[in-house]
Amino acid sequence: MIGILFSILGFIIYKGIGVISWEFITEMPKDGMTKGGIYPAIIGTLCLIGGSIIFAFPIGVMSAIYINEYTKHGYFRSFIQLMTSNLAGIPSIVFGLFGMSLFVNQLGFGDSILAGSLTLGLLVLPIVIRTTEEALKAVDDNFRQASLALGATKLQTIQRVTLPIALPNILTGLILSIGRVSGETAPILFTVAAYFLPKLPTSIFDQVMALPYHLYVISTSGTNINDSRAMAYGTALVLILIVLILNLTASAVRRYLSKKNNIN
Amino acid sequence: MKKLIGNLIQGLFLISSTVTTLTVLLIVFFLFSEGLSMFKESPLEGENILAVHSNNKVKTVSAEQIKNIFDRKITHWSEIGGSADSIILFTSQDFDTYFNADDLGPKFEHLPRKIDSLINSTPGIIAVFSSRYIPPHFRGKLIEVSNVSLNSFMSGREWFPTAHPAVQLGVLPLILGTLWVSLIAILIALPIGLATSIYMAEVASVRMRNLLKPVIELLAGIPSVVYGFFGLIIIVPMIQDIFNLPVGETALAGSIVLAIMALPTIITVSEDALRNTPRAMKEASLALGANRWQTIRRVVIPYSISGIAAAAILGIGRAIGETCFGHSVRLALS
């Protein structure tokens, strides 16, 4: 069973490693996406990651702080928690449709990085909120009470005591949500992704190419599926590498910071 | 002053925490408002209208009847409550066969008049044309196309949102396809996932577990489009070979990809559930002389069955929502 999962990884690494080269990462796609590189797709994915994190991270963390530090156990709190888990359970394609009807059509952003980032941000908001909440819950109440007893206000306690202790786990959640953003195809399908656009975005109202959608396009509906197969292996490998590196960084950050906190 | 800032920031936190709630409500609102408009709009494509001879008794037709008429499955008006005339089709593609270009004029300015006289002279005609060409003193009769009803939407067997001249919106094959694919996926994924989680929770050594657990969590993070790509490259041709099919993109291929996608979630959640079994219960069972397998089957699994069910639902639920696993499932649904 583990074998199946490993064989997937191994197969894609084996087929993709030969495709990846410096040119593959830094050149525009050429000849109907059968030659050249995936540079615009990588840049597009980075733009989307940045945009969605700028939106989702502050709101998610503030939301979790409010839920965990300010509300008492009660209807309001459980209602917000229920809605957060509801949001987490919504299929990603529905986020795509919602993003299209609200951001692209109603608010008139068009197919743009802005619309795509907001959609992806909403998608990962529940992940950020939940991991931050868990991180805050794990902070020992003695710390809070000690800080309050020394005359610090609630805000000072959160700022100086609770957040620094919870930071490693919050960062882990952040990195995990970046991994999720970089791999999602359905939400960007209707909101930002361009089928073929060999230039870099100049503003947040531009369309971009993105890695997952690029892979989807060249493996199912490219101009010449057989010729672009090698490109598909390479794209898949780059995508997996980004996600794996982010996940490994997450666990490394968590280990490093929690060790540091223990010494203090 | 300090208190004011504190209150302000608390307000900011409060606003942030309502964002998720607002989003859920907005999503529900948008899905309903966009979805309901489907039931209000005419299934006729674009600005087309449907016209018949003025003596025709038929007043409304449904989208399904239009499709059958244009597929020549309904050939007489008597079949949908009209006279005994046989049905004669007229669409914009037939402009050339009925009229010659000189009659119509360079900018089609005579087209409305021609359509009018054609409809008036042919009792069995049904004409589809753009509302731009409706004649000023039209002697024929416009008939209405009944809107898509909830009933026909849920039980309709045809899903052709781009059909001409009337779209066919029946969601039944999509629902049945989803149910079939996910049922087979559960049947494949649950035994394998359960076996792996039992191995990890009860049999494997600590070192093995510490090795496997992070790997499986990594696999849970692989983008669904990569799994779909893998399915398209490996599983689809494999199924084509094994069963000698003309195309391998079947419900079975989709189910296998879904099962693989769901496995990491199923394994992690059900392993947690299995490990929550109190040690005392396991030891009591072993002390009574049961061997390890009997203990797992009679004590550990019954104790954690709710967690295992949750694992299956979570895993498949995540996978069903994903649409991007290549063509395999999409074709199975249509």
Return the closest-CA partner of residue B301 out of B213, B217, B201.
B201
Q: What is the pLDDT of residues A129-157, one digit of tens each?
A: 888 888 888 888 888 899 999 988 888 89
Measured distance CA(B126)–CA(B66) in Å, rounded: 10
The pLDDT mean for chain A works out to: 80
* Range picked from A111-115, B18-22, B285-289, B326-330 for highest mean pLDDT: B285-289
Residues 6+ apart with CB under 8 A from A64: A128, A129, A130, A132, A133, A136, B17
- Between β-strands B159-160 and B168-169, what pairing exists: parallel, antiparallel or unpaired? antiparallel
Q: What is the pLDDT of residues B190-232, one digit of tens each?
A: 898 888 888 888 888 888 888 887 778 777 778 877 887 887 7
Q: Is the CB of B40 inside 8 Å of chain A's CB atoms?
A: no
Q: Which residues of B touch A86 (CB under 8 A)?
A: 24
pLDDT at res. A167? 85
DSSP letter for B169, please: E
Residue B334 has pLDDT above 50, yes or no: no
Measured distance CA(A109)–CA(A116) in Å, rounded: 10
Mark yes or no for CB contact B19/A59 under 8 Å: yes
Cβ pair B299, B305 in contact under 8 A: no
Q: Is the CB of A152 inside 8 Å of chain B's CB atoms?
A: no
Q: Is the CB of B324 inside 8 Å of chain A's CB atoms?
A: yes
Interface of A with B in 42-81 (CB under 8 A): 58-60, 62-67, 70, 79-80
Interface of B with A in 203-242 (CB under 8 A): 212, 214-219, 221-230, 232-234
For residues B41-60, give the mean pLDDT: 71
Instruction: Tell whether A17 is covered by a domain.
Output: no
Residue B329 has pLDDT above 70, yes or no: no
Cβ count within 10 A of residue B230 = 24
- A259 Cα distance to chain centroid: 26
Size of interface A-B (CB pairs under 8 A): 166
Return the closest-CA partner of residue B17 out of A92, A171, A130.
A130
Classify burial at B106, counting beta carbons within 10 Å of its beta carbon; exposed 0-12, middle 13-18, buried 19 or more: exposed
Strand-pairing partners, residue A112, are none
Contacts 24+ apart (CB under 8 A), B120-123: B120/B53, B120/B54, B122/B53, B122/B88, B123/B53, B123/B55, B123/B56, B123/B83, B123/B85
Measured distance CA(A45)–CA(A238) in Å, rounded: 11
Cα end-to-end distance, chain B, whole Å: 64
Cβ pair B95, B111 in contact under 8 A: yes
For residues A87-96, give the mean pLDDT: 82
Measured distance CA(B221)–CA(A186) in Å, rounded: 16
pLDDT at res. A149? 92
Measured distance CA(A254)–CA(A173) in Å, rounded: 10
Helices B19-40 and A92-99: crossing angle in degrees, nearest 10, is: 80
Residue B148's φ and ψ, nearest 5 degrees, are: -65, 125
Residues 6+ apart with CB under 8 A from B231: B253, B254, B256, B257, B260, B325, B326, B328
Cβ pair A34, A98 in contact under 8 A: no
Q: Which residues of A touch B215 (CB under 8 A)?
A: 2, 5-6
Reading phi first (left if > 0) and then psi (alpha if -120 to 50, else beta), residue A201 is in: beta
Interface of A with B in 153-172 (CB under 8 A): 153-155
Report ipTM for this prediction. 0.77
Interface of A with B in 102-121 (CB under 8 A): 102
pLDDT at res. A221? 66
B34: nearest CA partner in chain A? A101
Return the closest-CA partner of residue B167 out of B148, B151, B143.
B148
Q: Is the CB of B1 inside 8 Å of chain A's CB atoms?
A: no
Measured distance CA(B20)–CA(A132) in Å, rounded: 15
Using CA atoms in the order A102, A103, A104, A105, what is the torsion angle rounded to 10 degrees?
A: 40
For residues B106-125, give the mean pLDDT: 74
pLDDT at res. A150? 92
pLDDT at res. A2? 66
Return the closest-CA partner of residue A44 out of A206, A177, A250.
A206
pLDDT at res. A33? 59
Q: What is the pLDDT of residues B126-148, one digit of tens each?
A: 777 777 777 777 777 777 777 66
Mark yes or no for CB contact B6/A154 under 8 Å: yes
Mark yes or no for CB contact A244/B224 under 8 Å: no
Measured distance CA(A239)–CA(B117) in Å, rounded: 63
- Residue B11 banded pLDDT, cuts 50, 70, 90: confident
Q: Which residues of B touch A52 (CB under 8 A)?
A: none
C-alpha atoms less than 13 angstroms from C-alpha of B313 in its C-beta half-sphere: 7
Instruction: Tell whether A21 is covered by a domain.
Output: no
Judged by average pLDDT, the poorest of A35-49, B41-55, B271-285, B319-333 is: B319-333
Mark yes or no for CB contact B23/A179 under 8 Å: no
pLDDT at res. B288? 92
pLDDT at res. B247? 67
The pLDDT mean for chain B works out to: 76
Q: Is the CB of A183 inside 8 Å of chain B's CB atoms?
A: yes
Q: Which residues of A touch B222 (CB under 8 A)?
A: 8-9, 183, 240, 243
Residue B18 has pLDDT above 80, yes or no: yes
Q: What does the longest C-alpha to C-alpha distance in chain B come to?
A: 100
Residue A188 has pLDDT above 70, yes or no: yes
Judged by average pLDDT, the poorest of A29-38, B103-112, B171-180 is: A29-38
Residues written for chain A: 264
Measured distance CA(A217)–CA(A210) in Å, rounded: 10
Cα dihedral across residues A183, A189, A193, A195: positive or negative:
positive
Instruction: Tell whether A211 is covered by a domain.
Output: yes
Instruction: Tell whether A6 is covered by a domain.
Output: no
Measured distance CA(B50)–CA(A52) in Å, rounded: 48
Cα dihedral across residues B329, B332, B333, B334: positive or negative:
positive
Mark yes or no for CB contact A180/B221 under 8 Å: yes
Q: Is the CB of B317 inside 8 Å of chain A's CB atoms?
A: yes
Residue A35 has pLDDT above 90, yes or no: no
pLDDT at res. B330? 46
Interface of B with A in 84-143 (CB under 8 A): none
User: Domain map of chain B by residue range?
Assistant: 48-149, 172-333
Mark yes or no for CB contact B16/A232 under 8 Å: no
Mark yes or no for CB contact B217/A247 under 8 Å: yes
Of the candidate CATH numbers 3.40.440.10, 3.90.870.10, 3.40.190.10, 3.60.15.10, the domain formed by B48-149 belongs to 3.40.190.10
Domain containing A66: what range?
Answer: 36-263
- Residue B261 banded pLDDT, cuts 50, 70, 90: confident
For residues B112-125, give the mean pLDDT: 75
Residue B116 has pLDDT above 50, yes or no: yes
pLDDT at res. B324? 46
B192: nearest CA partner in chain A? A1
For residues B66-72, give the mean pLDDT: 72
Instruction: Tell whether A223 is covered by a domain.
Output: yes
Domain at A183, CATH number: 1.10.3720.10
pLDDT at res. A177? 84
B29: nearest CA partner in chain A? A98
Q: How close B137 gets to chain A, by Cα (Å)? A: 39
Mark yes or no for CB contact A2/B216 under 8 Å: yes
Q: How many domains does chain A have?
A: 1
pLDDT at res. A226? 66
Measured distance CA(A84)–CA(A89) in Å, rounded: 9
pLDDT at res. B287? 93
Sheet order of strands, B141-142 included: B88-90, B125-130, B48-52, B141-142
Instruction: Select from B17, B195, B229 the Cβ nearest to the Cβ of A236.
Output: B229
Interface of A with B in 187-216 (CB under 8 A): 212-213, 215-216
Cβ-count burial A19-38 (b if 16+ within 10 Å, e if not): bbeeebeebbbeeebbebbb
Of the candidate CATH numbers 1.20.1050.10, 1.10.3720.10, 3.40.47.10, 3.10.20.340, the domain formed by B172-333 belongs to 1.10.3720.10
Cα end-to-end distance, chain A, whole Å: 43
- Residue B35 banded pLDDT, cuts 50, 70, 90: confident
Cβ-count burial A234-248 (b if 16+ within 10 Å, e if not): bbbbbbbebbbebbe
Instruction: Select from A67, A87, A236 the Cβ nearest to the Cβ of B23.
Output: A87
Strand-pairing partners, residue B86, are B76
Residue A84 has pLDDT above 80, yes or no: yes
